[in-house]
Structure 1
Amino acid sequence: MEKTCEFLKKAGTYYLATADGAQPRVRPFGTAHIFEGRLYIQTGASKKVSQEMHVNPRIEICAYTGDEWMRIEAVAVRDGRIEAQASMLDAYPMLKSMYAAGDGNSEVWYLSDATATIYSFTKGAAYTEKF
């Protein structure tokens, strides 16, 4: 999970895919944070992406950096604890202008049953991490 988090942070922007009924939806994201041994992402409860994850928590993430790219298949699990929200906001202080721990809008989700695979355009072998 640490290598996956490092890769997402290095990429800066990654793309999160959800399902809206039969329609796939993809959006840019930028948070990746390890808290209590789990990899977390953050969004707002008022956003459609949150509503979609509540209905169908199966997500995919894709990120690219240099000559490597990563795909993550996971189940997103909402963590409603204020401590988890505060930890994410401390890791990404620029979000504090939009969110506050316990504000009813800030949501953090950890990735469960995840498989992250790093592929290379120049190297033959792929690296896979499960968490």
Structure 2
Amino acid sequence: MFFLATVDEDQPKCRPLGLHILYEDKIYFGVGDFKDVYKQMIANPKIEIVATRGEDILRYYGIAKFEDNKAVLEKAAEILQT
């Protein structure tokens, strides 16, 4: 399971994300630019990611960087088709 935490003005927001990709040692996740989460990251790009797999937990925080990487988009399309 993969969760993304953002800030909406003074309120924390956390949601599970279905689309996440590890590509060339970077974590990519996709959100629609029409969604609140996208608007929240534009206003404040500080995020936190929590992922779990069995008993293993990854917790990572940083700054969201918006990219238009064709190779990642192709990989995402491939994953979504399966």
Task: Sort the TM-score into its range (normalised by shorter chain).
Answer: 0.7 to 0.9
Question: What residue in structure 2 maps to residue 92 of structure 1?
Answer: 80
CA RMSD of aligned residues (A): 1.9
Q: How far 1:81 moved relative to its partner?
A: 4.1
- Equivalent AA in structure 2 for residue 59 of structure 1: I
SS of aligned partner of 1:87: helix
- In structure 2, how many angstroms separate the alpha carbons of the residues matched to 1:45 and 1:71? 25
- In structure 1, how many angstroms separate the alpha carbons of the residues matched to 2:9 and 2:39? 11
Task: Work out whether 1:22 is the aligned partner of 2:20.
Answer: no
Give structure 2 stretches of 5+ with no counterpart: none
2:60 to 66, 69, 72: 72
What TM-score do you get using the length of structure 1 for normalisation? 0.54
- TM alignment of 1:108-119, pairs within 5 A: none
What TM-score do you get using the length of structure 2 for normalisation? 0.80
Question: What residue in structure 2 maps to residue 42 of structure 1?
Answer: 30
SS of aligned partner of 2:19: coil
SS of aligned partner of 1:78: coil
Question: What residue in structure 1 maps to residue 43 of structure 2?
Answer: 55
Q: How far 1:65 moved relative to its partner?
A: 2.7
* Identity within the alignment, %: 29
Q: How far 1:83 moved relative to its partner?
A: 4.2
Alignment CA distance shift 1:39-1:86 (3 Å): same
Mean CA deviation greater in 45-54 or 81-90: 81-90
Q: How far 1:34 moved relative to its partner?
A: 3.1
Cα deviation, 1:47-74, whole Å, max 9, x if unaligned, reads: 1000101111110011223222221112
Q: How far 1:37 moved relative to its partner?
A: 4.5
Give structure 1 stretches of 5+ with no counterpart: 1-12, 95-131
- In structure 2, how many angstroms separate the alpha carbons of the residues matched to 1:68 and 1:34? 17
- In structure 2, how many angstroms separate the alpha carbons of the residues matched to 1:88 and 1:56? 25
